[in-house]
Amino acid sequence: MVRSPSSPRQLARRLVLAPLIAAACDNPTVVRPDFAYDPTGLTGGQLYRWSTGARVRVFVEPMVSGGVDLAGAVQRAVSAWNAVPQEREFTLDVVTNRDLADVIVYDRSLPQPVATGSCPFNPSGAAGYTYFCPLNGRAERLRPIASSVLTTAIVIRVDMTTTATQAALDALVAHEVGHAVGIGGHSPQTTDVMYTRPTVRTPTDRDRNTLRNVLGRAADITL
């Protein structure tokens, strides 16, 4: 799931601006597939993505490995989503320094890895939760714990007690990373990674087309 709350006033301003931006956005050199499903269903119509060409640094909070491996699941999700952009609009890169992280992934059993931002952080009982906070058209930067720098745009919390197998964790992580690269919605089709309760870890053509379309548009919110 995605939470990207904004005040009614901010929302109204963006909705007025959106048609103006959309008219000037498309890259004429690349044919963009249609959305297979709405990538803004969880954001009230707001389209978000990284700035074009961004190198997105992903940090996984280390933990004592039980039966399943979170870092491995993140690495596979990163590889899978990196294969989707048509023009390297983003590149996900796993890093080992939390202080440099644009995205932090952690398990529910660990402390929250960033200082709380302006929007409520409320994963409640979700198996997976992807958080960012829109602020003036950008994702607010958050301060990782033990750091003095505001660097982190997105926090992903997974609950590994809900994933009994590595395959289940891989699917969950792939889904949340899909949110983190610009898909702010869910597919109604059970076989897609972006289905609410995903069972696969490799983006389908429908997932890929949806993200590729997002990447060809101007964003309401730049991560």
3 vs 98 by CB, closer to Zn ion: 3
1 vs 218 by CB, closer to Zn ion: 1
Helix, strand, or coil here: 152? strand
Residue with tokens 């690269």: 181
The Cβ-side half-sphere exposure at 199, using a 13 Å CA radius, reads 3
Residue 156: CB minimum distance to Zn ion, A: 10
176 vs 220 by CB, closer to Zn ion: 176
Residue 175: CB minimum distance to Zn ion, A: 6
Type of residue numbered 204: T
Residue 186: CB minimum distance to Zn ion, A: 6
Strands, DSSP E only, in the chain? 2-3, 48-49, 54-60, 90-95, 103-107, 128-131, 134-135, 138-139, 154-158, 221-222
Residue 32: CB minimum distance to Zn ion, A: 23
Which among 14, 115, 114 is positioned nearest to 59, based on CA atoms? 114
Which residues make up the interface to Zn ion (CB under 5 A)? 1
Closest residue to Zn ion: CB criterion = 1
65 vs 190 by CB, closer to Zn ion: 190
